[in-house]
Amino acid sequence: MLDSDSKIWLESRFKNNVRFDESMSRHTSLRVGGNADAFVMPEKPEDLVEIIRWCQQKDIPCLVIGDGTNLLVKDSGIRGIVIVLTKCLKSINKRGIGRDGVIVTALAGARMQALCSFAVKNGLKGMNFAIGIPGTVGGGIMMNAGTAHGSIKDVLDSIKILLPAGHTKIIMRENLNFDYRRLSLKDEVKEVNQGLPIILGACFCLHPSDPQKLQKDAEEILKVRKARQPSGLPSAGCFFKNPL
């Protein structure tokens, strides 16, 4: 539980962007979960860094989330502070030509579908595998999100992380370990025994293509996905039907 001094500081610093005893069922796609002691929505990247450092100084546990998809919160809730990235880290931009294609940057709080739409509109091939996948870019990277058409690891060029000590680092694709629906960082890019780093954003390597063809392909993928997956119901993004 947070003490009164901590609540006063959070209210004075984040005003309407902090809520206390907030039900996590309002912030997860499965619509279940108990209360978080505090729920903070930083508006700027520097606000995010500040709240992370403050939590470390006060020895208050914090959990950073994106859109709450594929996240199951227990009924007893979350002690400490939940920090959501969807307000402060949401921009998507085309940076230019990279090592193997066109580089698109997306911050961790940007929604995956926004990145897919950006790629299609700009005639860039590579993201259509993610059509229909809910959640944010940061969460998608952590889960190595994907479908039968591909996964994040196939298009990722690099990620930018915030380390527990407060500084940032860029890690290239070759220094990342991807497994099925999972990302793990190599030991040399982590600060051992100081907590896990936070993904701030990423660069994706995409390739020029015909926007109209990409749009047509995207519509077909979405059509198939809607036919196979429940729509409008609490979901982690993908459920499998029993064929028997």
Q: What pLDDT score does 193 carry?
A: 42
Q: Residue 182, exposed/middle/buried by CB under 10 A (0-12, 13-18, 19+)?
A: exposed
List pLDDT tens digits, range 66-115: 999 888 899 999 999 999 999 999 999 998 886 778 999 999 999 999 99
234: alpha, beta or left? (left if phi > 0; alpha if psi -120 to 50): beta
- Judging by DSSP bridges, how do beta strands 92-97 and 102-107 pair with one another? antiparallel
pTM of the full predicted structure?
0.86
* pLDDT number for residue 117: 96
Residue matched to tokens 């990722």: 156
DSSP output for the chain: ---HHHHHHHHHHHGGGEEEEEEGGGSSTT----EEEEEE--SSHHHHHHHHHHHHHHT--EEEESS-TT----TT-EEEEEEE-TTTS--EEEEEE-SSSEEEEEETTSBHHHHHHHHHHTTEES-GGGTT--SBHHHHHHTT-EETTEEGGGTEEEEEEE-TTS-EEEEEGGGEEEETTEEEE-GGGS-TTS---EEEEEEEEEEE--HHHHHHHHHHHHHHHHHHS--SS--SS-------
The confidence score (pLDDT) of residue 190 equals 52
Question: Which residue segments constitute the domains of the chain, with CATH numbers given?
Answer: 4-84 (3.30.43.10), 92-228 (3.30.465.10)
What pLDDT was estimated at residue 178?
A: 86
Q: Report the pLDDT value the prediction gives residue 222, as an integer from 0 to 100.
A: 86
Question: And the tokens for 39?
Answer: 């729920």
Below-50 pLDDT ranges, the chain: 191-193, 244
